[in-house]
Structure 1
Amino acid sequence: MVDKQNASPEQVLVCEDVSRWFGGLQAVKSISIGIRQGEIFGLVGPNGSGKTTLVNAITGFYPPQQGTIRFYGEPINRLKPHKVAMQGIARTFQNVALFKGMSVLDNILMGRHIFMRPSALASLFYWWWAQKEEIAHREKVEEIIDLLQLESVRDEPVDVIPLGMQKRVELARALCAEPKFLILDEPMAGMNQEEKEYMVRFILDAQEALGLTVLLIEHHMDVVTAICDRVVVLNNGEKIAEGPAREAINDPAVVAAYIGKKDDAA
């Protein structure tokens, strides 16, 4: 695990000149960002701008070919995804990635897998050893169920609950990993206005209750400007704006990236 005692309290995660390409396509071009302790940091941009590629670099799915990623001062860009998770980084996905056919409770419990240490010896002495560990995991799951108000669907198959609730289950599963740094990849995608408002509230509640730092990828600019402390905007793999949410979103380069320049419109 990362030694957080010796790390700067200011910068939780730092990307230094991170680049990633696939064949002849450079998806991320020398991106540098620094995310501070306790903030909600927005990562926005048009489709194909490199947002998810950067997140995949941070989480170890597609390590950067150039640059360095540091978490609490320690480089993590050469770690495998499960090792990154063990450092205290959890994520949700743009497309819901739940285990169909399993209950809401069992899906959330899967978030505890990084703490589980199965062994033949533990199974042999289940009633004395393994059962105690299982109870502790379930107690943590119950805390998250209460926090995200999922009691009413806890025993339902995850397939049959609405999309907005499924997104909340995925958030619960990520929180059960006890992260210090939470990455949310378009948590509002496909939601109606009421579901978005619920999700915003639960993200803010989780951040406050659990002391989280959050990296939020989101297309809904009303959400970004409402809850993000700072924002970085990407376009074609490059950083085109950075700063307080409203200032960054209203930057002329950002407006041009989303709706085109006047010459383009003509």
Structure 2
Amino acid sequence: MTDAVLECRNVTRRFGGVVALKDVSIAVARGEIFGLVGPNGSGKTTLVNAITGFYPPQQGQILLDGQPINGMKPFRIADRGVARTFQNVALFHGMSVLDNILMGRHIYMKPNPLASLFYPWWAAREETAHRRKVEEVIDLLQLAPARDEYVDVIPLGLQKRVELARALCAEPRLLVLDEPMAGMNQEEKEYMVRFILDAQDALGLTVLIIEHHMDVVTALCDRVLVLNNGQQIAQGPAREAIADPRVIEAYIGKPRDAA
């Protein structure tokens, strides 16, 4: 794919004797929402962790905008424009919604003693610019009513939205969402789908998303990769890939098993 933001070529990752990923390949086009689907333990989060530098692959290659990122530390990959959310909410407790979202700007903040010394003329302008970007994201995700609340006391659906806002404030070239709907009720899922689509439209995002809810996958994703036992079993347009007999078998078993 000539305009791929992300490419994974024959990625393999082992943990001791367990092969978590085997020869997995994807290409995520610019502006696309690409889904990772599969039963629990199929290797979805391992692939995301390989892409973001937490568990680099032992074999294969990962390219971001055509440049290899294999072996880079997670913070270096973040500097390259990859932001992610986590399956289990990873917010800073004891801090407000606003302060958590501001943390998304950390890769652009370059503090130094000289700037602090001349704060009114130097650092204040930088701080205002960061704050302006954060306010745009708060408005986009309709978080203004909760901006001063501590994240410890807001509902899970709102916490997930705050984590999405923090990732968006990093102005990512690739946004990685690890089960953003986990634990949500139907109404919260519908809101989150709308906010992801709004953010993609407003910011021109390329999104890689892990999701178990098939209604969400078909509503959001242009294409999906289906994994099972660390291997890809289907890839293509969302509805077609999910309807593949191998995918159905991976989720519910063969007819005689179901009986």
Tell me which interval the TM-score lies in, with the shorter structure as reference length.
over 0.9
Percent identity at matched positions?
76
Q: 1:227 aligns with which of 203, 208, 220?
A: 220
Other-structure match for 1:136: 129
Q: 1:214 aligns with which of 200, 207, 212?
A: 207
Distance (Å, rounded) in 2 between the aligned partners of 1:120 and 1:24: 50
Whether 1:93 aligns to 2:86 is yes
Report the CA distance between 1:71 and its aligned residue: 0.7
Report the CA distance between 1:146 and its aligned residue: 0.2
**Structure 2: runs of 5 or more not aligned:** none
Whether 1:191 aligns to 2:218 is no
Question: How large is the Cα RMSD of the aligned pairs?
Answer: 0.9
Distance 1:155 1:219, change over 3 A: same
1:139-169 deviations in Å (ceiling 9; x for gaps): 1000000000000000000111110000000
Other-structure match for 1:5: none
User: How many residues are paired up?
Assistant: 259
Pairs within 5 Å for 1:83-122: 83-122=76-115
Runs of 4+ residues over 2 Å off in structure 1 = 263-266
Pairs within 5 Å for 1:36-47: 36-47=29-40
Report the CA distance between 1:9 and its aligned residue: 5.5
Report the CA distance between 1:12 and its aligned residue: 1.1
Other-structure match for 1:53: 46
Q: 1:237 aligns with which of 207, 214, 230?
A: 230
The residue identity in structure 1 corresponding to 2:184 is M
Whether 1:27 aligns to 2:20 is yes
Q: Contact conserved, 1:231 with 1:244, CA < 8 A, in 2?
A: yes
Report the CA distance between 1:121 and its aligned residue: 1.2
Other-structure match for 1:180: 173
Distance (Å, rounded) in 2 between the aligned partners of 1:264 and 1:194: 34
Q: 2:154 aligns with which of 142, 158, 161?
A: 161
Deviates more, 1:118-127 or 1:176-185: 118-127
Distance 1:130 1:9, change over 3 A: farther
Q: Contact conserved, 1:45 with 1:219, CA < 8 A, in 2?
A: yes
Distance (Å, rounded) in 1 between the aligned partners of 2:227 and 2:99: 37
Distance 1:160 1:117, change over 3 A: same
Q: TM-score, normalised by structure 2?
A: 0.98
